[in-house]
Amino acid sequence: MHQSERLTALRRVRILAELPDLRLEQLAGTCKWQNYDAGEQILSYDDPSTDVLFLAAGKVRVIIYSASGKAVVFTDLRPGAIFGEIAAIDRLARSAGVEAIEPSTIASLAASQFENLLLREPAVTVATLRHVTAEVRRLSERVVEFSTLAVQNRIHAELLRLAAAGVSQPQGQVLLSPAPSLADIADRISTHREAVSRELSRLGSTGLLRREGGDLRITDVARLERLVREARAD
């Protein structure tokens, strides 16, 4: 990446959005920049490293593998995301692994440098607190879903989350391109691909989902939201 591209990439990171241009330029020079191929591991679960990382380009997945090899997918991250901040703050081992889904460019900052940034830039500190708080809320929501919702309803909730990152279409529709695989959805909600296949087929028969080549169209996001809301209220 050229310097201008690096600055644009860092400006996209929400916690850095309020940094003055000069400070952002200094930060870009302090960061270590590295490229990763699709499928390459960026961080491993329980690793002792403590750098904080910013996703400048590409797409990565936060994931843990059980001893038997079963994948537990937490989320996918896109350019502008920050990750690794938990270990950078508490200096403990990594709480999850991260893999590149697409060719990706990462900017990393040592934990001590990140701490100095927080001490010197109150706007970054406040933005980081809000980011961590949002993550706590998101994970709390997932715990409630796993504890209270049936598999069918967890599939609906995951589709709704995927819709938030999909391509908005006219008439309240969203296009997931490419469509998530059955195994991918199953790994996100701790079930098996057969259960996902049955429910997606059922939703297709009701007209809520439609396959379009390698894509998946959600034809009525508002209806999907109602299904999730009603399940959570039960």
Average pLDDT over residues 113-123: 97
Q: What amino acid is encoded at 226 in this protein?
A: R
- Find out if CATH 1.10.3210.10 is the number for domain 149-233: no
pLDDT tier at 1 (50, 70, 90 boundaries)? Answer: confident
* Residues 6 or more apart in contact with residue 185 via CB below 8 angstroms: 155, 158, 159, 193, 196
Read off the pLDDT of residues 70-108 as tens digits, 9 standing for 90 and up.
888 999 999 999 999 999 999 999 999 999 999 999 999
Q: What amino acid is encoded at 214 in this protein?
A: G
CATH architecture of the region 3-146: Sandwich (2.60)
* H or E, element range at 127: helix 122-148
Residue ranges of domains in the chain: 3-146, 149-233
pLDDT for the residue 70: 86
pTM value is 0.86
List C-alpha distances in Å: 229 to 149, 157, 191, 212, 225.
11, 9, 21, 27, 6
Read off the pLDDT of residues 39-70 as tens digits, 9 standing for 90 and up.
999 999 999 999 999 999 999 999 999 888 88
Do 3-146 and 149-233 agree at the fold level?
no
User: Where is pLDDT greater, at 190 or 58?
Assistant: 58
pLDDT for the residue 225: 95
Burial of 43 (0-12, 13-18, 19+ CB in 10 A): buried
The tokens describing 160, both together, are 């709704």
